Amino acid sequence: MTNQVDLHIYQNFVEAITSAASNNTEAFIARLTELSEQHNINPALLNTVGIGLSSEAGEFGDMVKKLLFHGKEFNEELRQKLKSELGDVIWYWINACRALNLDPNEVITANVSKLEARHPDGKFNVSFEKQRETQGD
């Protein structure tokens, strides 16, 4: 080991570059109040969704990883588990729409429009994907 980091110095550095709302409960509460009152967002529900979506996506991804790379057998039980996780994902997705006061139909419509613009011929096209990568989308 040539360069050893002093973890106390690193801890102080991390604290200094972390937002006030992350470091301080009063600042966090003020931010939640601001979001709720000024932007008509439900921060409690949004927090549930943020944690829940990532958890459910992780569970789904772990099953896919085991299927693809660990030799897990694909059977009806696994299909049903994957189906169940997808149901949980959509539950959180709908709650995200609720938390942000978004019409779920509008979210899907906007997604279809984005994908149609990305794939104007209605099919996957490597050249469009390469173009998107260079544009940072």
Q: Which residues form the domain of 124?
A: 42-135
Examine the domain organization and report whether 58 and 94 are in the same domain: yes
Q: Which residues of the chain are modeled with pLDDT < 50?
A: none
Examine the domain organization and report whether 116 and 69 are in the same domain: yes
Terminal-to-terminal C-alpha distance of the chain = 39
* Residue-wise pLDDT tens digits, 105-131: 999 999 999 999 888 888 888 877 777
Alpha-carbon dihedral sign for residues 32, 137, 98, 80? negative
What pTM, to 2 d.p., does this model score?
0.81
Q: What is the b/e burial string over 37-52, where b = at least 16 CB atoms within 10 angstroms of the residue's CB?
A: eeeebbbeebeebeeb
Examine the domain organization and report whether 19 and 59 are in the same domain: no
